[in-house]
Amino acid sequence: MPITDMTACELAAALTEKRLSSREATAAYLDRIAALDKEINSYITVTPEQAMKDAEASDKRRAEGRALSPLDGVPMALKDVICSKGVRTTAASKILYNFVPPYDATCWSRLKAGGAVLLGKVNMDEFAMGSSTETSAFGPTRNPWDEERVPGGSSGGSAAAVAAGLAAYSLGTDTGGSVRQPAHFCGVVGLKPTYGRVSRYGVIPYASSLDQVGVLARDCRDAASVLQLIAGQDRMDSTSAPAPVEDYASACGEDITGLKIGLPKEFMSDAIAGDAVAPDIAFAMRQGAERLAAQGAVVEEVSLPHSAYALPTYYILASAEASSNLARYDGVRYGARAENAENVYDMFTATRSANFGAEVKRRIMLGTFALSSGYYDAYYNKTMQVRTLIKQDYDQAFAAGFDCLMTPAAPTTAFKLGEMTDDPLTMYMQDICTVPVNLAGLPGLVVPVGLDNGNLPIGLQLIGKSFDERTLFAVGSRLESPLRLQPGLEM
């Protein structure tokens, strides 16, 4: 098996058994990036010298019997919104084009402490605002299953890199589906942990009450192994939770007999997403339910009545928080700065006008309006009230005995590049299945289950109780059908 076809855990086992060195694995990935990524454009910055240096250090540790973690020496990638000391971090925006952080994000420092080898920083929608990775200042990423289609967003570079064999796994971020929807489009596993499970320190913020670091990987065991390394409370992030970190990988393959799995009717049969869900995805949902039932799970319909309000609630709330968070990019402290301005006001205006993309400007304006005098109560406060109702729907479902819920990951499979760029509302509809999970702060896991009639990947979403990622991995590992690029689709 080619090195770049291995899962992260298979590669880790080969390193442990001395069948392979980290240097060999890293070189294989770097060669593949050099050969193929000109077409996919999944990377913004590649770090070959540092990667090879870190791989050699890993090989030395393993030779001395002191591996730092099971994944020591496994090559991976970071979404370019996660700060990495000494490595350019751009958020895919011109305003941070040359920004080099002086510190590491906690999630990356924990992976480094486990011996991770960083191949580079991967592409994304600018400031994580988008569902297709077309808003990047570095150009769009292409879906490796069909280069005329999008990989999803905003963590499209992370998903495409894993799917194309350009990284063993990658970290992304998920504010409204930005890990899970790209996982569905690219045929990989995408995990959004419970809000607070993973520190957000060092992650360039979009919407602070919704953002969460997530994992893109080949299968559930890989995702679980990565979560094991990055989870846990962090004194640098007051929103990180003191919940104990469990052995997530051991949940993969566990018996699911008797687990009660809910199918929210709003996502399949009425006005929320039912009309928009493609027939192939609806069929995959039925097959998935049958597969889980055949393994002993109890599958029943459940209702989440306030889900219809999730999408407008999300876009008002997230835009309001973005308006506040992005105020720091003013040309004064760091980042790009407009030259030859006559005064501070002109400099501030020119800097933001020239260096923010259209989608970022759209959301800043929407959020500023929602927070403005006379509209705060009508918009922002109302969304906070609706958010509570949405969370209560999930609380009631879990209180009724459901262990997890299953929904589509998105209404369609990957759409074509440019198909929705002139229609923001249609683009926003791509998030209809994922944003309720962020509003409720719950964990969500997307696993690949097959292909549609056009040979495009389909993933299904599992939603769990707060801090119960183990159940998601148990069910997800029983549901997943890991995909590989087929002959004729291989680049």
Catalytic residues: 79, 154, 178
Long-range (24+ apart) CB contacts under 8 A made by 287-294 are 287/449, 287/450, 288/406, 288/449, 288/460, 288/479, 289/261, 289/263, 289/406, 291/478, 291/479, 292/256, 292/261, 292/406, 292/475, 292/478, 292/479
- The residue among 52, 109, 42 whose CA lies nearest residue 77 is 42
Give the separation between CA 305 and CA 231, rounded to whole angstroms: 32
- The residue among 5, 9, 197, 8 whose CA lies nearest residue 107 is 197
Which amino acid is it at 96?
A: L
Q: Residue 225: in which H helix or E strand, if any?
A: helix 220-230
Residue 77 · residue 44 · CB < 8 Å: no
For the chain, the maximum distance between any two Cα atoms, rounded to a whole number of angstroms, is: 71
Q: What is the DSSP string of 246-315?
A: ---GGGTT---TT-EEEEEGGGTSSTTTTTTS-HHHHHHHHHHHHHHHHTT-EEEEE--GGGGGHHHHHH
State the distance between the two ends of the chain, measured CA to CA, in whole angstroms: 17
Burial of residue 392 (CB within 10 Å: 0-12, 13-18, 19+) is middle
Tell me the two tokens of residue 225: 């192994």
DSSP secondary structure letter of residue 414: P
Tell me the two tokens of residue 441: 């702060």
